[in-house]
Amino acid sequence: MNAFASRTFKSGNSEAVRLPKGAAYGTDVDVTIIRSGDVLTIYPSRPPITELAHRLAALPAPAQVELRDQDLIPERDGL
């Protein structure tokens, strides 16, 4: 785990912190911030499940679906 130092500053009516290059996510990345006492946890936000469902539905369908062979399970006495 890497540790980075930064400093808070005022941005409009909000308090802000600049993420150092080694800890940055890039530009225009939505993040989720969780505060637990003095600890802030920042991570990229996950898209809502509806967006994931739309992305999945937009994937191309396979040209052919391979069927599995039926498993032959022998009958066993006593079960």
pLDDT digits over 28-37, tens only? 999 999 999 9
Phi and psi at 72, nearest 5°, equal -95, 110
pLDDT computed for residue 78 by the predictor: 77
Distance CA 56, CA 72 (A): 34
Start-to-end CA distance of the chain, whole Å, equals: 54
Those residues whose C-beta lies under 8 Å from the C-beta of residue 45, and which sit 6 or more positions away, are: 30, 31, 32
Q: Is the pLDDT of residue 79 over 70?
A: no
Distance CA 1, CA 18 (A): 19
